[in-house]
Amino acid sequence: MWATRTVSLVFAGSGATQASWMSRLPAVLEQTGTGVAGLSAALTMLGLGTLAAMTLTGPVTARFGSRRVAGAGFTGTLVSLLAIPLAQSPTGLALALLGMGVGGGVWDAGMNMQASALESRYDTHLMSGFHGWWSIGSMTGAGLGLAATALSVGLLPHLSAVVLIIAVLCAVGLTVFGEDKPGRSDAAGPARSPLRRLAAIGTLLFCGAVVEGAAGDWLAVYLNQDRLLTHAGAAFWYALFVSSMAAGRLAAERPHRTVGAVGLVRAGSLVTGASIVLVVAGPTGIWLYLAALGWGAGICWVFPAALSATGALAAPSAVALMTAVGYSASIVGPLAIGRLAHAAGLHTAIVSLLPLALAVALLAPALASADREAGR
């Protein structure tokens, strides 16, 4: 399907954009003279801009249409990406990241709304595959950043090349975005959108996003300090986790057809729970690396399945709001885990993820709306 392939480019471009500047963060901090406090402030601006934009994208799309809104989002993001290598102070970096947050939030929410519309059009699960392409874009962007660093390529030429490549990919992807204004169906939204079901999906999504994000934010530190893995071993664990996430999402369409979202997410969350137990209490060696594969493959379906279920149950603008719920977990989760680690130790903080994984399993029946839409 040409439409799904081209929309996949938009998802890949989003992942590559984020990873490209993050992979050059040491150089960015050196150029702008930004310390830990300045970086924290800049990242806060990024997060606030993203959340605000995601919340507003649904109503704006209802008025102007998904193609215009998503196009404005990715244009603003790429302009802000170019502003990063031009920034010469912590304030300049913070303003550039605020622009990236606003543009990226619109881009992210807009492309997920379009993905939900394509699922309705083709009556099949596509969201996981799109998010798998986001992971591929992220890994590609990080790899290019590593190569640019190794070859001593400056920030401006590196990020300028990234902007040109992603602009072409996203311009192609936007050609298949619908000209319709998804908000026109909002009038039917209240009748199709029981708040209790949406609240359960939102809670499931938040719990799953915290468990997913913890693997990137804290596991390398925990494995090195508490399980005594080398730096290389901890990095390899994370690489396996990310690869497992991408592979699981790219391969999700057939399991969704045969097992359904409820069964797939429930089984996956239980596998993730078992992987958490292996990480904190199992033997070292190969078992820790098997836990990386299980953690990634088990949790990877939660976010896209929640968005699919929201699109099947509610008005399209709800998909943008649910995207914001998932993103907020990436902000709140690391802070909460950090505070718990400071108070009770990192081991206890990682153990606290187990109830969240089990909560996802218990809340999985809320995804039944997506299964009914697919005729299961």
SS (H, E, C) 322-338: HHHHHHHHHHHHHHHHH
Asked if the model's pLDDT at residue 334 lies above 70, the reply is yes
What pLDDT is attached to residue 23?
A: 85
What would the pLDDT profile of 270-299 be if each residue is shown by its tens digit? 999 999 999 999 998 899 999 999 999 999
Range 39-43 average pLDDT: 83
What pLDDT is attached to residue 247?
A: 94
What is the share, in percent, of the chain residues with pLDDT greater than 90?
Answer: 54
What pLDDT is attached to residue 314?
A: 82
Domains of the chain with bracketed CATH: 2-178 (1.20.1250.20), 193-373 (1.20.1250.20)
What pLDDT is attached to residue 189?
A: 44
What pLDDT is attached to residue 368?
A: 87
Residue type, 304: P
Name the token pair of 289.
């690396």
Residue type, 126: L
Range 85-102 average pLDDT: 94
What pLDDT is attached to residue 123?
A: 84
**Distance, CA of 145 to CA of 152 (rounded, Å):** 10
**Distance, CA of 126 to CA of 305 (rounded, Å):** 9
Asked if the model's pLDDT at residue 181 lies above 80, the reply is no
Q: Which residue has the tokens 């072409």?
A: 168
Range 356-365 average pLDDT: 97
- Would you place residue 307 in the very low, low, confident or very high pLDDT band (cuts 50, 70, 90)? very high
What pLDDT is attached to residue 102?
A: 95
What pLDDT is attached to residue 161?
A: 96
- Would you place residue 188 in the very low, low, confident or very high pLDDT band (cuts 50, 70, 90)? very low
**Distance, CA of 317 to CA of 314 (rounded, Å):** 8
Asked if the model's pLDDT at residue 338 lies above 70, the reply is yes
What is the share, in percent, of the chain residues with pLDDT greater than 70?
Answer: 93
Between the CA of residue 71 and those of 160, 178, 205, what are the distances in Å?
Answer: 19, 12, 27
Please tell me the least confidently modeled range out of 81-90, 101-110, 366-375.
Answer: 366-375
User: What is the torsional sign of CA 45, 360, 135, 177?
Assistant: negative
Residues 6+ apart with CB under 8 A from 255: 264
Range 110-127 average pLDDT: 88
What pLDDT is attached to residue 187?
A: 41
Q: ∠ CA(17), CA(18), CA(19), 5° rounding?
A: 95
What is the average pLDDT score of the chain?
88
What pLDDT is attached to residue 191?
A: 43
Range 210-214 average pLDDT: 91
Asked if the model's pLDDT at residue 182 lies above 70, the reply is no
How buried is residue 11: exposed, middle or buried, by Cβ count under 10 Å (0-12/13-18/19+)? buried
Asked if the model's pLDDT at residue 42 lies above 80, the reply is yes
Which parts of the chain fold into alpha helices (H)?
2-22, 25-32, 36-64, 66-86, 90-122, 127-150, 155-174, 189-192, 195-217, 219-225, 231-250, 253-258, 260-281, 286-299, 302-313, 317-344, 346-351, 353-363, 368-373
More confident residue, 372 or 115: 115
Asked if the model's pLDDT at residue 372 lies above 70, the reply is no
Helices 195-217 and 260-281, interaxial angle, to 10°? 30
**Distance, CA of 317 to CA of 304 (rounded, Å):** 16
Range 62-90 average pLDDT: 91
User: What is the torsional sign of CA 51, 74, 30, 329?
Assistant: positive
- Would you place residue 166 in the very low, low, confident or very high pLDDT band (cuts 50, 70, 90)? very high
**Distance, CA of 271 to CA of 268 (rounded, Å):** 5
Nearest CA-CA partner of 111 in 70, 81, 144, 150:
70
Backbone phi, then psi, for 228, in 5-degree steps? Answer: 65, 30
Asked if the model's pLDDT at residue 66 lies above 90, the reply is no
Return the DSSP state at 314. Answer: S
**Distance, CA of 174 to CA of 69 (rounded, Å):** 10
What pLDDT is attached to residue 357?
A: 97
How buried is residue 343: exposed, middle or buried, by Cβ count under 10 Å (0-12/13-18/19+)? exposed
